[in-house]
Each structure stands twice: as structure tokens, then as C-alpha cells.
Structure 1
Amino acid sequence: MTSGHIMMAMSLDGFVARSDHTLDWLNKQPTEGENHGFEAFLESVDVIVMGSGSFRTILGFAGWPYTKPVIVLSQSMNDADIPEHLKDKVEISSESPIELIARLTELGHGRVYVDGGAIIRSFLTLDFVKSMKITIVPILIGDGIRMFGELDRDIDLSLEKVEPFSSGLVTLTYRLPEEPG
């Protein structure tokens, strides 16, 4: 079965983006020469699933950062919202996470990169997430979009690795239980 995997940066106070989805705070820490493992993580997944907020944010980047297929889960967007140069790289889907995972499993996709606060929460709630690699950025931004919001139950995590960097960033790698608690 297809499993979800997360790699995200988060401010020390728990935000993944400002309220307007901007990520300007991510670039305030000098990280030259540090390898946070994002390229290796991307190589380990078959497809990327994100929400419309994450998709719109990434569209504002200088260039499209992904070579893997991207599926945007959205009830409000459609194919007309995909820029022409990304039509062969991005799919808009109104499927539920359960329907999407079933389809990806049928297509033979083993590992999915799950990106975006609401999408992460829905995949966590359904026990589709198997690992999380969270990089804590030493900055307090005070307000924004939380990575983890309300959940319907506690989700126990097993810490696998802590990796500090000279910039002050710290990456925490967690494994989630195989069977829901």
C-alpha cells in the first residue's frame, strides 16, 4: 500500500508558513554548505501530493522545483488553474485522501511526499503517514499556518534521529506506528 512521508521546515513556534502562505522567514538563517537531505528525500518518493495553498506558493518560486509528478488535492481548483508549462507535471484532483491513496496504490506508487498543513493533517488522521522529517528553524514568527492543528486523537511518534546544524536548524526524524493507536 502507498504510504505518506513528510519533510517540512517549521518555525520554532510551529508554523510552516505565514498566514498569507509566504515563506520569507525560511531564508533568514545562513545555511550555506549544509545538506538537509531534501534532494535525497525527493528521490525516495514516487509522487508529491499537496494542497492548493502549497501549490499557489510554489507557483511563485523562480522555477518549478519538482521533477516528480505532483497531485494537487483541491475542491476549488481545476485543470484551467495549471499553468501551460506545468500541464504534463501537475494534476488537480478532487478525490478524498482515501480515494487518492487507493488510486496511487493501484498505480504502484509506494511512497508519497505529503506537503501542506491541511493535507498533512488529513493524511495523519487516516494513518497514511509513516515517517516525518521536520526541520526546526530557529525563528519565532508569531502567527501563520500551523503544521499540526487539531487531531481527533493522540498520535504517538518514535524518534529515530536528531541532526543539528551549525546554522541552528535541527532536523528531527520520526517514525509513526504501523498500527493506529
Structure 2
Amino acid sequence: MTSGHVMMAMSLDGFVARKDHQLDWLMKQKTEGEDHGYDDFIASIDVIVMGSNSFRTVLSFGEWPYNKPVIVLSQQLKDADVPAHLANKVEILNQSPSALMKTLNARDIKRAYIDGGAIVRSFLAEGHIATMHITIVPILIGDGVPLFDTLPQDIDLQLEKSEAFGSGLVDLHYRVLS
């Protein structure tokens, strides 16, 4: 079975991006010499799943940062919205989290990186997240895209590891129990 995994940075007040999806507050963090496990995490996954807002944000970076296949879940975007140089790297699908997990399982994909506030919330709500690695960034941005919001039920978590860094960032590793 395909399992969903999250690795995201979040401001101390719970936001993963500003309302306009900008990450300027995150990009200014000085973390030289700190290993937050991103390379190992990416090496462990088979596909990246994100929403259209995250996709647009990543496109604004200029250089495409992923060497893994990317699936963008969107009701509005079509394959024609994918830049030509990413045509073999990005797939647009209009599926629910449950339907996508069935699709990925049929493709023999084992681990999916679920990225983006709304997408993470939808996968959590449908029970498709196995682990979460959340990095708390020591900044309050006051408003933005929340990582967590209203859920249809409680979701129990087990803390597997926590680590504080000199930069002030704190990594929290959770296993989702329910």
C-alpha cells in the first residue's frame, strides 16, 4: 500500500506560507551546517504530491528543484498548464486523496511526499498520512496558509523524535496513529 508522508516547515504560529503563498520568511532562516533530513527524506520517497498553489510557488523558484515525479492535484489546472520542460516530470490529476492513493498503489508507488497546506489537510482528513516531519521556524507571521485547520475528527500522533538546532528551528517527527 502507498503511504503518505509530510515534511514541512511551519512558523511558530502555524503557517506554512503567507496568504499570497510567499515563503520569504522561511528563506531568510540561517541554517548553515544543520541537517534537517531533507535529502534523506527525498531519497526515501517515490513521488511528490502537491496542490496547484504549491506548484505555482515552486515554479516561481526558477529552477525545478525535484528529481522525483510530481503529481499536482487540481480542479482547475490541466496538462497544458505544465511548462514544456516539465512535461515528463509533472502530471496534473483531479482526484480525491483516497482515489489518488488507489492510483499510486496500482502504479506500485510505496511512499508519497504530501506537500502543501490544503493538500496535507485533505490527506490527513481522509487518513492517508503515515508520518509527519514538521520543522517549527522561530517566527510569527501573523496570518497565512495554515498547516492544520478544521478536521472531521481528532488525529492521534506519537512523537518519535524532537531535535532543537542552533538556528532556533525545532524538528518534530510524528507517527500518525489514527
TM over 0.5: yes
1:129 and 2:129 are equivalent in the alignment: yes
Matches within 5 A, 1:73-84: 73-84=73-84
SS of the counterpart of 2:139? coil
Across the aligned residues of Structure 1 and Structure 2, the Cα RMSD in angstroms comes to 0.7
Compute the displacement of 1:164 (Å). Answer: 0.8
Listed as ranges, the matches of 1:1-181 within 5 Å are: 1-177=1-177, 180=178
1:80 to partner: Cα distance: 1.0
User: Structure 1 residues 15-24 or 96-105, which shifts more?
Assistant: 96-105
Q: TM-score, normalised by structure 1?
A: 0.97
Task: State the one-letter code of the partner of 1:102.
Answer: K
Query: C-alpha distance in 2, partners of 1:5/1:38?
Result: 12
Distance in 1 of aligned mates of 2:74 and 2:48: 14
Q: CA deviation at 1:28?
A: 2.3
- What is the TM-score when the length of structure 2 is the normalising length? 0.98
- Aligned pair count reads 178
Amino acid at match of 1:7: M
Post-superposition shift, 1:96? 1.6
- State the AA in 2 paired with 1:72: V
Query: What letter is aligned with 2:155?
Result: I
AA aligned opposite 2:53: G
Unaligned runs of 5+ in 1: none
Amino acid paired to 1:71: I
Off by >6 Å, runs of 4+ in structure 1: none
Report Cα offsets for 1:110-168 as digits up to 9, x if no partner: 11000011111111011110000000000000000000111011101000000111100
Secondary structure, aligned partner of 1:136: strand
Percent of aligned pairs with the same amino acid: 63
SS in 2 for 1:113: strand
Ranges in structure 2 where 5+ consecutive residues have no aligned partner: none
Query: SS of the residue aligned with 1:161?
Result: strand
